[in-house]
């Protein structure tokens, strides 16, 4: 087991002007589950591959434990890419399917059996060890494949979108299995996905990248409650945070008919406008004339809750930098028993203590 350190790690592809991964700094703790997430082309896979030894590091270093692995070949790094391939061999037993890679590494029979049995216990496969894989269910076969990586007992597991070719049901099932398995094994794991739900549900910490630059690396809770910038605010959370550009006024920021109080010091360098962010579940319905007016376009009833999708009459939604398809609706989660009607104009404010404010120029968070 080991820590992993990206130390100003940079990758520039030949012929490209800008780096695909730009001075990445992440310290991953021993036993931690870190998820690299971001839109396509953000550099998450490249970062993982730099750690695996599949991409060159043009600048900076990568450490596993106290070893500088920057120039080591993939084989010498003691990392395992999981799920790249998981063919099961029909004539071999489950135990043989799990342990054969150790045979290549020259381990003796007794040692192989011991490690296979250990892994089988963790994977709930003990009773199937002497059967042929044909007798297993789809989920059990997945676990045999995981077992193949586990028996090698690497210092670090690397997973690059391992669930992308599974169907929706098996994906959710396997997601849970991987997360709980990782916790039981306690092996440092770096996991790449483009899906923020996967990132938030699986990771101890989540590192969000955009254009090769790390935006924030924090616990899922912290990413959600305290996004460092507009991009993080818009990427994490589903449905996404509402982001509105609004003028700075005396004592705070303008919000429809009212002023939302923001500390004077915090706004000192903000300029004349800021971006305010409100999560759909942090929206409070107010009385007519108080706050921002929203015309309801769609009501989506989910039983206990309802989501309303509307348009703000006097404020435009801001593009957070994620791939944008036209004008975004303003989204609010409201009580499902008394939802507003389509076409109605409602007035809203953020709940106390749930306002995010960002610098309109830099996108950085203002205040705390």
Partner 1 sequence: MPLEISAARPDPALLDLPWSIPLEEWPQDLLAALPRGISRHVVRFARLSGSVIAIKEIKADIARREFQMLRQLGRLDQPCVEPLGVVTGRTDAAGEPLDACLITRHLQFSLPYRVVFSQHLREDTAVRLLDALAVLLVRLHLVGYWWGDVSLSNTLFRRDAGAFAAYLVDAETGELHEQLTDGQRAHDIDIAQVNIAGEFMDLEASGVLPEGLDPVVMAQDIVTRYETLWHELTEDEWFDSGETWRVDQRIRRLNAQGFDVDELAIATDLDGTRIRIQPKVVDAGHHSRRLLRLTGLDVEENQARRLLNDLDSYTAATERQGEDEEIVAHDWLNRIYEPTVRAVPAELRGRLESAEIFHEVLEHRWFMAERLGHDIDIREALDDYLRHVLPGKPEERSVIDEERSS
Helix %, strand %, coil % of the chain (to 5): 30, 35, 40
Task: State the residues that interact with partner 1 by CB under 8 A.
Answer: 13-15, 49, 52-56, 73-75, 81, 84-92, 96-97, 100-101, 103-104, 133-134, 141, 164-165, 167
Nearer to partner 1, 141 or 273 (CB): 141
Q: Quick one: DSSP state of residue 250? A: T
Distance CA 266, CA 277 (A): 16
φ and ψ of 40, to 5 deg: -65, 140
Shortest separation between residue 173's beta carbon and partner 1, angstroms: 17
* Residue 164: strand, helix, or coil: coil
Query: Which residues make Cβ contacts (< 8 Å) with residue 87, sequence separation at least 6?
Result: none
Nearer to partner 1, 60 or 220 (CB): 60
Report whether 322 contacts 234 (CB < 8 A): yes
* Residue 239: strand, helix, or coil: coil
Nearer to partner 1, 144 or 332 (CB): 144
The two counts, helices (H) then strands (E), for the chain are 9, 21
Distance CA 318, CA 234 (A): 10
Report whether 54 contacts 192 (CB < 8 A): no
Nearer to partner 1, 113 or 226 (CB): 113
Shortest separation between residue 157's beta carbon and partner 1, angstroms: 15
In this structure, the strands spanning 365-366 and 356-359 are antiparallel
Shortest separation between residue 56's beta carbon and partner 1, angstroms: 5
Shortest separation between residue 77's beta carbon and partner 1, angstroms: 10
Shortest separation between residue 75's beta carbon and partner 1, angstroms: 6
Nearer to partner 1, 36 or 348 (CB): 36
Nearer to partner 1, 73 or 127 (CB): 73
Shortest separation between residue 85's beta carbon and partner 1, angstroms: 5
């Amino acid at each position: 087991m080991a820590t992993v350190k990206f130390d100003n790690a940079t990758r520039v592809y030949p012929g490209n002007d800008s780096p695909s991964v730009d001075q990445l700094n992440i310290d991953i703790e021993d036993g931690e589950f870190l998820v690299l997430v971001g839109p396509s082309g953000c550099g998450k896979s490249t970062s993982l591959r730099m750690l695996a030894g599949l991409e060159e590091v043009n600048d900076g270093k990568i450490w596993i434990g106290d070893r500088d692995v920057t120039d080591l070949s993939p084989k010498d790094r003691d990392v395992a890419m999981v799920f790249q391939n998981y063919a099961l061999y029909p004539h071999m037993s489950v135990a043989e399917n799990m342990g054969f890679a150790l045979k290549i590494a020259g381990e003796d029979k007794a040692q192989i059996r011991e490690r296979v049995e250990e892994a089988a216990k963790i994977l709930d496969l003990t009773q199937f060890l002497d059967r042929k894989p044909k007798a297993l269910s789809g989920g059990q076969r997945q676990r045999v494949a995981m077992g193949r990586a586990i028996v090698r007992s690497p210092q670090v597991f690397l997973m690059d979108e391992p669930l992308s070719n599974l169907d929706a049901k098996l994906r959710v099932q396997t997601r849970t299995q991987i997360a709980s398995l990782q916790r039981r094994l306690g092996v440092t794991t770096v996991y790449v996905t483009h899906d923020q739900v996967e990132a938030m549900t699986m990771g101890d910490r989540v590192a969000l990248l955009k254009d090769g630059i790390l935006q924030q690396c924090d616990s899922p809770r912290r990413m959600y409650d305290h996004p460092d910038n507009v991009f993080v605010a818009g990427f994490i959370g589903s449905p996404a945070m509402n982001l509105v550009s609004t003028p700075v006024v005396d004592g705070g920021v303008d919000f429809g008919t009212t002023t939302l109080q923001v500390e004077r010091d915090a706004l000192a360098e903000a300029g004349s406008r800021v971006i305010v962010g409100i999560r759909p579940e942090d929206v409070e319905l107010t009385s007519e004339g108080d706050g921002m007016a929203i015309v309801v376009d769609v009501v989506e009833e989910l039983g206990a809750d309802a989501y309303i999708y509307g348009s703000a009459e006097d404020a435009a939604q801001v593009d957070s930098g994620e791939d944008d398809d036209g004008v975004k609706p303003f989204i609010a989660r409201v009580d499902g028993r008394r939802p507003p009607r389509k076409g109605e104009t409602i007035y809203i404010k953020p709940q106390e203590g749930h306002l995010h404010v960002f610098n309109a120029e830099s996108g950085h968070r203002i205040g705390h």
